[in-house]
Amino acid sequence: MKVIPENLPRAPEPLPSPVFDSHTHLDIVAAERGTAGSGWSAAAQIEAAAKVGVDRLVQVGVDVASSAWGADLATRENAVVATVALHPNEAPRLADLDAAFAEIVALASQPRVRGVGETGLDFFRTTGEGLKAQELSFRYHIALAKQVGKPLIVHDRDAHADILRVLDDEGAPDRVVMHCFSGDADFARECVRRGFHLSFAGTVTFKNAPHLREAAALAPLDQILVETDAPYLTPMPFRGKPNASYLIPLTVRAIAETRGVPLTEVCEAISANGERLLGPW
């Protein structure tokens, strides 16, 4: 049986040194592809990624159900660690934010749960009164990350200044990951100055994203991560097609080319950053 379904992009050339995917949604990939007869289960996705040198994955929660699912998966799959959270666009939809967050708190202390997120602010999909619940939820998650001593994974869409405002106001945790970094060089400098890690998705490969490549070039190598955010943000040349962790090598190669450094050096730095942030898998 083929590891990768025929309707997905072909596998890229394997990396010379293993890296990890700092942000993926194995459950959403499986649901969107359909698991009946396709072989595209979480286990198959993990296998496909390993074949190209992506040997570790971070399964990210976006609500109570996905957070619980990820926490359970991480206890069964050695290649996976989990994060738990209420997504910024989920918080305003909840009838009882405090009750849902209490369930996230209960999950956050599990040893295979290594981070709190994705949380943050999203001014693209949430507007008006919903922004109050979104910011309150973000503050809850910041406090939780500090309480359990785990990294905070930040979702930031069209909200750069307010993300920094809230983090500065609350006091950022020791470890912060800017998921799917989307800012320009100036914003990158502000994040780097605060010690945050910038996680670059397939968007860094897009022709219309020179600002992301500029950010990737200026950030210290020990503050750079890569991610898929699968099934979204598929790197070139497969933009618009479904994404999955096995396509990470395309993004890693783009960052190495942008920085003008050997591919192996970038791989080794990304891998070390993951171990430092999240601990051993």
Give binding residues as ranges: 23, 25, 118, 155, 179, 229
**Lookup result for tokens 């995917």:** 21
For the record, the structure tokens of 41 come out as: 């289960």
- Contact (Cβ atoms closer than 8 angstroms) between residue 258 and residue 216: yes
Q: Binding site for a divalent metal cation: residue ranges? A: 23, 25, 118, 155, 179, 229
User: Which residue from 205, 210, 207, 204 is spatially nearest to 178, judged by alpha carbons?
Assistant: 204
Residues facing 24 on adjacent strands: 59, 230
Q: β-strand 224-226 against 80-84: which pairing, if any?
A: unpaired
Residues 6+ positions from 201 with CB-CB distance below 8 Å: 23, 180, 181, 226, 227, 228, 229, 232, 233, 235, 251
The DSSP string of 39-61 is: --SHHHHHHHHHHTTEEEEEEE-
Cα 191 from Cα 178, distance rounded (Å): 8
Element (H, E) at 70: helix 64-76
Cα 261 from Cα 156, distance rounded (Å): 28
Cα 241 from Cα 250, distance rounded (Å): 14
